[in-house]
Structure 1
């Protein structure tokens, strides 16, 4: 069966569809606007499909805590003391069984509007991933959309004990929650009480979380007794396990194709092993992506936890950022795949997401074209998926303070805000890029070239061969600024050369004799090279490319993909 490489595009509907140009610091929904599900029109989806996107990751879909509710629709206002920003964090879930009312044209028909969006995306030939937030939920969680027969989280908890296998939360008996003084000073007209206090989402088992903690969230209990040396109490199955299975089945029934699982490593791997196996009995096609940052846990979350893909953040992403900035040599990229010990096809590669600073910001590279070779490496290195973040292809900078979010080079996920460069592509709903500059048109086309090349057989299905070791002593190859590798399948052979330098590079790329053995290419032979993303044709003998190398020029901050045959 032919294997398809996943090309994922992450977007927040709240930001994607917002057409307001002028923002007010800490502005309300009415002042700053808010995108809707309806903004993802058939035309917008067709443009994504033409880019080679296979999956849309819709962030902030499930209802999360927000300051300004909809009282006329029985959705109360939220408490500012325990909500980050006026728009709230998409990762402080208020109701696992509902979609966010901010995203609907008609609040009372918000689920119908989401289901209509799912249908449009599927009709466009793409699939849908949403966030599943299993580790924590909003302090004022209450589901009014769940089936009546189901009990809500914490409804039957024994709050007199810090831990019970059947409790949904962890408690601090006899202690009231004491929120940080900075918050109480800022929102002096508001009060919030919680007795007994619940543990905070980032594993803070204290009644006094700090302002840098996830104070707006409550840690969920999966049967791990942190008061008894992390004792695991998994039999009978903890109640939280059963509730979460019901929630995911609910979204699968809606037509969701996969889940990006927030902070999956903070939830015991045994839960994932059970949950994913249970869900795949009836929905074997589901995709599960884990946000895991500890490389020591990779094998267990893939082999035992049964995740399809894990974040490759602390490995490839961090390394590529270092190479772009000139802080690391390109040779360090080889260490990334070597340290994975064969898990490469399970790694989700990216150069931006909602947690990271924008490439075009002054905190990273400033000039977004500098990241093109890094994106090529992330996309082409192995069979695993690659991801773009909304606005990356237009050079979004994440400039300026928004409200809760400061001027840190990130697009705020906590405030009602906009994407000014993305709006130029959106062009008042035309989605034709009519307002983009020439540089932005160039950048977007470069990203499209990369995502479309992901469909090449050698990249989507083939194996990987690193040629850096052969070129380490090659004086005609700058291993500090250039990274080169081969991708090959039964039907195609490619060599990829990525130039991280601000200058074009004339170089000789040597291919090891061992590569000829691995690819079953006879020696001596004559090789014919044709560039897939440039005008370049070359012929060279096998012994010459081994000893002298293939002479090519790669433009500044660019890459070449060369198909070769013999």
Structure 2
């Protein structure tokens, strides 16, 4: 989901906690993992779409849509070969769409509260169903998803899906909920603005008003696009807008779920007895856990009280203690709370590492800032999920970001190898998808649309009409994908990355004048496996020296009197020799990256 800014980004890097940092023990899922978690995010409706029309605001008939069945064994084998352990199938659960499925008993959605033709996957309209767009046979849509889970497991990959706990579509209504389940809001007392037993918050005596100027389809029409959406009393908007007339840039298509927090009374908590919403959301998680999914990426998790997570996650893990829970979170001051109290396995590290790496790529930050991030998070690094792309962020190859996928690759090397925490890539990132084109509601902003029916051109070259063999890729794209595969395989299997220690050597080398603030270096080591990761963000070729600090030499079990060399295992084409000061020289082409294994 698009984010709310919780803090000023310029001070994020300097964050410190008011209490001493303690070592947070690994969770069960981390203790059992022999390899690093590597996630491949596949936006399900776009992933397998072979249609190349790409008409702005195009219908599903014009632009096409990917299906569960498009994600075949060939696709899964190829993704697995990248070094991936988990696939996050984004946008699985049913949400509002402006495509007519009434012949299957699915009510027509009201276009006044749906963004784009294909709708936001974070405006859930039925937690117990899947998006009919994704099914070859709409009547058997759940069966097709269950078959995708089975197919994914058969290819030794685990399945992550979204759980959207903070809000639902304004037109939420479950058509296929299990027998005995009461719908969200079904028993609410709508005469009360707040009640801990209500599922929603109400603006008593007021009616919802569609924002003026809202055009989900541009100049196109739809039977329910009339500005007359009826909701009385109005419900509070998903991003905590307590108004019946939310602005056009708010999450007005969604409504906030009530977890027992009275926002109008200084956020007073009413958690005893357990609020009704807690029980309903637990049952939804159990429903999907019993479908054999392996984890949940929890949308805007920090907008839901941490006490709920503390209560619910252990109950869901009682079904399968290897389930992983990932929190989308943007406030570093809450990181430890959502790990310790909330029981999350992994958290987004957008505000600290992602923002820092993006600044380094664009020349706005120093490479030495990376070590500051790692130091601030030293006790929780195994819990931090790193990435350069996802559905909310601009494509690294877009003109709004790096403009060239190779410019971003060194930062991806850092993301993947800097600590024990998981790493994620977004579908198409590995072939340099730039996010071009005016898709419709999304517009052209460097992101791949989450609101429109669309084909993803560079990714489609790898898809190659369902063969998933990359034959249509350019030689440069094939090399890029191969480089991603090498990187992610090293990250997921090398003991120094998976289990080892981290030491920054950037600050010492900058201080000694060996290289400048456009080069970054650190060491990862475990037993006899010793790696030096060197990345550069320079615009011209340069020769630099890299020295191992004296205090680190002993820790690595090395001696200044020994003869050592190191070979790059990322591209396997550079070998360096240490001198008596345990220093080596290396030529750095612009935006280069090395993972040297010390021999």
- For the criterion TM > 0.5, the same-fold answer is yes
Q: Shift in Å at residue 439 of structure 1? A: 1.8
Q: Distance in 1 between matches of 2:564 and 2:270?
A: 61
Q: Distance in 1 between matches of 2:530 and 2:470?
A: 34
The Cα offsets for residues 319-351 of structure 1, whole Å up to 9 and x where unpaired, read as: 111111111121111121122242111110000
2:430 matches 1:396: no
Gapped runs of 5+ residues in structure 1?
Answer: none
The Cα offsets for residues 48-106 of structure 1, whole Å up to 9 and x where unpaired, read as: 11111100000000001111131111012211100000100000001101111100000
Kept in 2: contact 1:173–1:197 (CA 8 A): yes
Kept in 2: contact 1:331–1:468 (CA 8 A): yes
Of 544, 548, 552, the residue aligned with 2:581 is 544
Of 315, 326, 333, the residue aligned with 2:370 is 333
Moved more, 288-297 or 519-528: 519-528
Q: Greater relative contact order (Cα 8 A, min sep 6): structure 1 or 2?
A: 2
Q: Distance in 1 between matches of 2:105 and 2:343?
A: 40
Q: Distance in 1 between matches of 2:33 and 2:549?
A: 29
Aligned to 1:373: 410
Aligned to 1:441: 478
TM-score by length of 1: 0.96
The Cα offsets for residues 455-489 of structure 1, whole Å up to 9 and x where unpaired, read as: 111111111111112212233322x1110000011
Aligned to 2:75: 44
Q: Shift in Å at residue 183 of structure 1? A: 2.4
> Helix, strand or coil for the counterpart of 2:213?
helix
Aligned to 1:102: 133
Aligned to 1:561: 595
Q: Distance in 1 between matches of 2:510 and 2:590?
A: 21
Q: Shift in Å at residue 36 of structure 1? A: 0.2
Aligned to 1:161: 192
Kept in 2: contact 1:467–1:485 (CA 8 A): yes
Of 172, 175, 179, the residue aligned with 1:144 is 175
Q: Distance in 1 between matches of 2:439 and 2:560?
A: 62
2:520 matches 1:486: no
Q: Shift in Å at residue 262 of structure 1? A: 0.1
Task: State the number of aligned residues.
Answer: 560
> Helix, strand or coil for the counterpart of 1:429?
coil
Gapped runs of 5+ residues in structure 2?
Answer: 1-31
Kept in 2: contact 1:499–1:505 (CA 8 A): no
Kept in 1: contact 2:515–2:545 (CA 8 A): yes
> Helix, strand or coil for the counterpart of 2:412?
helix
Aligned to 1:475: 513
Kept in 2: contact 1:554–1:560 (CA 8 A): no
> Helix, strand or coil for the counterpart of 2:511?
coil
Kept in 2: contact 1:457–1:491 (CA 8 A): no
Kept in 2: contact 1:2–1:461 (CA 8 A): no
Q: Distance in 1 between matches of 2:226 and 2:559?
A: 79
Q: Shift in Å at residue 429 of structure 1? A: 1.1
Of 514, 517, 526, the residue aligned with 2:554 is 517
Q: Shift in Å at residue 278 of structure 1? A: 1.3
Kept in 1: contact 2:68–2:145 (CA 8 A): yes
Q: Shift in Å at residue 110 of structure 1? A: 0.6
Q: Shift in Å at residue 423 of structure 1? A: 0.6
Q: Distance in 2 between matches of 1:277 and 1:504?
A: 52
Aligned to 1:529: 566
Kept in 2: contact 1:311–1:347 (CA 8 A): yes
Kept in 1: contact 2:42–2:87 (CA 8 A): yes
Aligned to 2:445: 408
Q: Shift in Å at residue 366 of structure 1? A: 1.1
Aligned to 2:230: 193
> Helix, strand or coil for the counterpart of 1:483?
strand
Q: Shift in Å at residue 518 of structure 1? A: 2.8
Kept in 1: contact 2:427–2:459 (CA 8 A): yes
Aligned to 1:322: 359
The Cα offsets for residues 166-207 of structure 1, whole Å up to 9 and x where unpaired, read as: 100000001111121112897763521100000000011111
Q: Distance in 2 between matches of 1:174 and 1:491?
A: 70
Of 471, 474, 494, the residue aligned with 1:456 is 494
